[in-house]
């Protein structure tokens, strides 16, 4: 089942607000980097197979600077297997990490879980990104979950554009769509705690609008099991939808009778 194709057409989301992390299927590293509303100066690579990183003597770990991040975006990080990193401001901050903090980071990368919340004053990090087969299973910690909702809205619109549409002249071309505003996704927040799927592949399109169905899926850690459950949704009425008005470029959300 685990055939990798760029631009998967479903997005599974399960938000753990108390733990400040999100489990996802279908969001890949380049989409994440493009979608987050902040710039990342450096990434401390906890688990990877990147060949062009810089080496920090204090942590005995490699890191990617701004140029390295651009190379990572172009690289096959899915093929790394495990791909785990934490962002940081400058190399001097790495040199200030204590032995306890470095042990916590190694545990984080190895087990994809935290001993304590993985946000470090010394590093000034906003994220801890823990992936296995990037895009298949991602567990990402967010200092601010607002960053997640903003990124999710960008990724949804980006995936819509993966499918080329026929123009008035009968030619097929890639379409660009406005990002889904974070506030439009807010009606789904309580369902994201349970686990939901946005299905771009099942979107209904016409000249006036695009409707993306949303289903409550439940809490999955095993994405093989989640995908099997998704494949059985054929006859189940969606629990909500997000709708793009093609004329105005505005998005609306409908979730269990709630309109936004």
For 117-131, write each residue's pLDDT tens digit.
999 999 999 999 999
For 210-235, write each residue's pLDDT tens digit.
999 999 999 999 999 999 999 999 88
Q: Is the pLDDT at 1 greater than 90, yes or no?
A: no
C-alpha distance across the termini of the chain, in Å: 36
pLDDT of residue 4: 47
Q: Is the pLDDT at 100 greater than 60, yes or no?
A: yes
Percent over 70 (pLDDT), the chain: 91
pLDDT of residue 235: 82
Instruction: Label each residue of 215-241 as H, E or C.
Output: EECCCCCCHHHHHHHHCCCCCCCCCEE
Least reliable range by pLDDT among 52-61, 126-135, 232-241: 232-241
Helix or strand or coil: residue 162?
helix
pLDDT of residue 162: 74
The arithmetic mean of pLDDT across residues 191-207, rounded, is: 95
pLDDT of residue 101: 98
Cβ-based neighbour number of residue 186 at 10 Å: 15
Q: What is the largest CA-CA distance in the chain?
A: 64
What's the CA gap between 48 and 184, in Å, rounded? 35
Cβ-contact 128, 105 below 8 angstroms: no
For 142-184, write each residue's pLDDT tens digit.
999 999 999 999 999 999 987 655 555 555 567 889 999 999 9
């Amino acid at each position: 089942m685990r055939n990798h194709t760029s631009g998967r057409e479903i997005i599974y989301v399960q938000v753990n607000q108390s733990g400040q992390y999100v489990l996802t299927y279908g969001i890949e590293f380049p989409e994440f980097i493009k979608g987050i509303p902040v710039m990342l100066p450096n990434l401390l690579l906890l688990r990877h197979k990147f060949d062009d990183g810089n080496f920090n003597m204090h942590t005995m770990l490699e890191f990617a600077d701004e140029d390295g991040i651009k190379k990572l975006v172009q690289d096959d990080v899915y093929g790394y297997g495990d791909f785990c990193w934490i962002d940081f401001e400058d190399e001097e901050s790495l040199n200030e990490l204590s032995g306890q903090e470095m042990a916590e980071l190694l545990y984080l990368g190895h087990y994809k879980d935290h001993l304590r919340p993985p946000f470090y004053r010394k590093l000034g990090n906003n994220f801890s990104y823990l992936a296995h087969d990037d895009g298949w299973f991602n567990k990402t910690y967010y200092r601010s979950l607002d960053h997640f909702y903003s990124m999710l809205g960008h990724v949804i619109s980006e995936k819509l554009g993966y499918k080329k549409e026929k123009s008035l002249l009968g030619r097929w071309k890639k379409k660009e769509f406005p990002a889904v505003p974070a506030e439009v996704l807010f009606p789904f927040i309580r369902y994201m705690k349970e686990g939901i799927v946005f299905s771009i592949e099942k979107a209904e399109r016409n000249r006036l609008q695009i409707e993306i169905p949303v289903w409550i899926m439940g809490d999955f850690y095993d994405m093989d099991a989640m995908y099997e459950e998704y494949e059985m949704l054929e006859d189940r009425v969606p629990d909500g939808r997000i709708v793009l008005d093609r004329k105005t470029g505005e998005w609306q959300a409908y979730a269990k009778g709630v309109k936004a």
